[in-house]
Amino acid sequence: MTWTSVYNAMISFKGKWYDGRTAGQTEVVCKVYDSGVVYVEKADDHSRVTNLPLSNIKISPRLAGTPRYLRFPDGEKLETDDHDIVDQVIGQFRKSSWLDGVHRFESRLKYVVVGFILLLVFFWGSMQYGIPLVARIIAERLPPSVLDITSQQTVAILDQSILSPSELDPDTRERLRAHFQPLLTAHADYQLTLLFRNGKHVGANAFALPDGSIVFTDEMVQLAEHDDELSAVLAHEIGHVVRRHGMRTIIQDSILGFAILALTGDITGSSELFLGLPVVLTEMAYSRDFEREADRYAVECMNTHAIPLKRFADLMQRVEDQSGSGEQDNVKKWANYLSTHPMTEERLAAFE
């Protein structure tokens, strides 16, 4: 009498047997008996391969059309495509697992559609709220040394490339420093520093660096008809410093870049996240939310220091008029203040 005749086979299915020591495979038949004993035999000569209780075997969950694996204690495994029979074995001898719901979910079109929509909503929520929140938390906790190094390196690169020493006369620079002093004193904790540069190709511009350095180009100073107009711009740039918009934007872009890196495995573009830092800081078109936030901060500062709100709108209108006139100015249009701080009627209305 053979060993298998002692039991009445309840369920059987075919598969491929791997011994866990070599790459070879063997065609086998797996039989599961009423007692919960699993008997594996070769398909050709029906010789025994192994037998043991089902409780000692791990069964992989069902996932689309991928093979199922029965993993044995000594490293052997049995691969099979008879999903329905394996499900029958699990239903008879095992408690259902939450992983079993994955197959039920993916095998129903309406669930797949709902899942895809939820995935899109998740990614949209991450882009809209999750990543900005993480970037803000990180930016607010960065030590001053990081902000200093970032800004110093950026200024050095800009001075070697697109900026040159200011051609404003010393009296003008000192007059502006004195005029700006109330705003600078009110933000002493941020160690604000004024820098004047000839803008050359960047034209009329002003931008804030993470460490509190605020750069005014000669062209912006020359375009202003009243020092309060420049104070209004300064208040806006202080808003970017206080809210750390520069670092938050860099971090957001880096997170997105590294997320793409993680998904694609392409490391060739990772270094560009850092090589483009000066461009991000100086030519960045801030998000609408950042611009509105800086606007609100500027309005508060201007009201506190009795600076007419219309001064900012007047200067922006002048910048726009200059950007749209003349071939040379059209060349500069990509780099002037409006390209990095896009204004809208809604935003200008707050200053009018």
Whole-angstrom distance, CA of residue 203 vs CA of residue 312:
18
Q: How sure is the predictor about 2, in pLDDT bands with cuts at 50, 70 and 90?
A: very low
Q: How sure is the predictor about 335, in pLDDT bands with cuts at 50, 70 and 90?
A: low
* Whether the predicted pLDDT of 8 surpasses 70: no
* Whether the predicted pLDDT of 334 surpasses 70: no
**Structure token digits, residue 257:** 């870049």
Q: Give 5-47 as a DSSP string.
A: GGS-EEEEEEEEEE-SSSS--EEEEEEEETTSEEEEEETTT--
E strand or H helix that includes residue 79: strand 77-80
Coil, strand or helix at 226: coil
The CA angle 65-70-76, to the nearest 5 degrees, is: 125
The per-residue pLDDT for range 188-239, each reduced to its tens digit, is: 999 999 999 998 878 899 999 999 999 999 999 999 999 999 999 999 999 9
Q: How sure is the predictor about 1, in pLDDT bands with cuts at 50, 70 and 90?
A: very low
